[in-house]
Amino acid sequence: MENIKSYVQQHKDRFINELIELLKIPSVSADTAYSQDVIDTAEAVKESLSKAGCDYVETCDTPGYPIIYGEKIIDPNLPTVLVYGHYDVQPPDPLELWTSPPFEPVIKTTDIHPEGAIFARGACDDKGQMYMHVKALELMVQSNTLPCNVKFMIEGEEEVGSASLAWFVERNQEKLKNDVILISDTGMISNQQPSITTGLRGLSYVEVEVTGPNRDLHSGLYGGAVANPINILAKMIASLHDENNHITIPGFYDKVEELSAEERAEMAKAPFSLEKYKNALNIADVYGEKGYVTNERNSIRPTLDVNGIWGGYTGEGAKTVIASKAFAKISMRLVPNQEWEEITELFTKHFTSIAPAGVTVKVTPHHGGQGYVTPIDSIGYQAANKAYTETFGVPAIPVRSGGSIPIVALFEKELKSKTILMGFGLDSDAIHSPNEHFGIFNYLKGIETIPLFYKYFVELSK
Ligand code: BES
Ligand code: MN
Ligand code: MN
Alpha-carbon gap, residue 193 to 270, rounded angstroms:
9
Under 8 Å between Cβ of 213 and 414: no
Same domain, yes or no: 12 and 118: yes
Last residue of a domain, one of 314, 348, 369: 369
Asked whether the beta carbons of 95 and 165 are under 8 A apart, the reply is no
Asked if residue 351 has pLDDT above 90, the reply is yes
Q: Which residue has the higher pLDDT, 333 or 375?
A: 333
pLDDT at 2: 78
Assess whether 377 and 365 both reside in one domain: no
Ligand nearest to the CA of 162: 1
350 and 438 inside one domain: no
Which of the four pLDDT bands, split at 50, 70 and 90, describes residue 360? very high
- Residues 308 and 402 reside in one and the same domain: no
Q: Which of 124, 164, 340, 405 to mutate to test the pocket of ligand 1 (most atoms within 8 A of CB)?
A: 405
Residue 449, pLDDT > 90, answer yes
- 452 and 421 inside one domain: yes
Is 72 within a domain?
Answer: yes
Tell me: the pLDDT tens digits for 322-348? 999 999 999 999 998 999 999 999 999
* 4-17 residue pLDDT tens: 999 999 999 999 99
Mean pLDDT of the region 394-413 = 95
Q: What is the pLDDT of residue 57?
A: 98
Averaged pLDDT, 125-132: 98
Segments forming the whole domain that contains residue 133:
2-200+371-461
149-155 and 217-218 strand pairing: unpaired
| CA 219 to each of CA 223, 356, 381: distance values in angstroms, whole numbers, following the listed order | 5, 20, 61
- Check if the beta carbon of residue 197 is closer than 8 Å to that of residue 401: yes
Identify whether residues 190 and 326 lie together within a single domain. no
Question: Dihedral (C-alpha) 265, 268, 269, 271: value to the nearest 10 degrees?
Answer: 180
How many angstroms does the Cα of residue 122 sit away from the middle of ligand 3?
8
Amino acid found at 399: V
For residue 102 and ligand 1, the question of a CB distance below 6 A is answered with no
159 pocket-lining for ligand 1 (C-beta < 6 Å): yes
363, 366, 383: which is closest to 182 by C-alpha? Answer: 383
The answer on 144 and 71 residing in a single domain is yes
pTM over 0.85: yes
Question: Is residue 338 classed exposed, middle or buried when 0-12, 13-18 and 19+ CB atoms within 10 A define those classes?
Answer: buried
Centre of ligand 3 to C-alpha 165, Å, is: 15
Q: What pLDDT is stored for residue 66 in this prediction?
A: 98
Rounded Cα distance between 422 and 420, Å, is: 6
As a whole number, mean pLDDT of residues 261-276 equals 92
Let me know if residue 293 belongs to a domain: no
Beta-carbon count within 10 A of 290 CB: 10
- Looking at the structure, tell me whether residues 16 and 53 fall in a common domain: yes
Q: Render pLDDT for 102-123 as a digit per residue (tens, 0 to 9).
A: 999 999 999 999 999 999 999 9
> Based on C-alpha coordinates, what's the Rg of the chain?
23
Kindly state the average pLDDT of the residues 7-34.
98
Same domain flag for 424 and 441? yes
> Domain ends where: 344, 369, 394?
369
Residue 1 reports pLDDT greater than 90: no
Query: What pLDDT shows up at residue 28?
Result: 98
User: What is the average pLDDT score of the chain?
Assistant: 97
Q: Report the pLDDT value the prediction gives residue 350, as an integer from 0 to 100.
A: 98
Nearest to 306 by CA among 205, 439, 417: 205
Cβ neighbours of residue 381 under 8 Å, at least 6 residues apart?
Answer: 196, 198, 374, 375, 398, 420
CATH number of the domain residue 327 falls in: 3.30.70.360
Which residue among 84, 87, 129, 185 has the greatest number of ligand 1 atoms within 8 angstroms of its CB, and so is best to mutate?
185
pLDDT of residue 285: 98
Plot region of 69 (φ>0 → left; ψ -120 to 50 → alpha; else → beta):
beta
Question: Is any atom of ligand 1 closer than 6 Å to the C-beta of 199?
Answer: no
Calculate the alpha carbon distances from 341 to 44, 60, 334, 362, 419 in Å: 36, 28, 11, 17, 23
Q: How many domains does the chain have?
A: 2
CA 82 and chain centroid, separation? 18
Q: What is the pLDDT of residues 76-100, one digit of tens each?
A: 999 999 999 999 999 999 999 999 9
Q: Is residue 67 part of a domain?
A: yes
Examine residue 348 and state whether it is found in any structural domain, yes or no.
yes
CA–CA separation, 422 and 374 (whole Å): 13
Closest CA relative to residue 8, chosen from 350, 391, 459, 306: 391
Same domain, yes or no, for 52 and 76? Answer: yes
Q: Is 334 in the pocket of ligand 1 (CB under 6 A)?
A: no
In a domain, 103, yes or no: yes
Q: Is residue 284 part of a domain?
A: no
pLDDT band at 445 (very low <50, low <70, confident <90, very high): very high
pLDDT mean over 180-207: 97
- For 163-168, what is the mean pLDDT? 95
Is residue 241 assigned to a domain? yes
Q: Are 63 and 164 a contacting pair, CB within 8 Å?
A: yes
pLDDT of 193 > 80? The answer is: yes
Quick check: is 274 in a domain?
no
Question: For 232-245, how does the pLDDT look when each residue is reduced to its tens digit (9 = 90+)?
Answer: 999 999 999 999 99
Residue 375 shares a structural domain with residue 363: no
CA distance 389 to 131: 22
In the structure, ligand 2 is a single-atom ion and the residues with CB under 5 Å from it are: 125-126, 185
Query: What does residue 46 show for φ and ψ, rounded to 5 degrees?
Result: -60, -50
Domain co-membership, 50 together with 151 = yes
Instruction: Give the CATH number for residue 142.
Output: 3.40.630.10
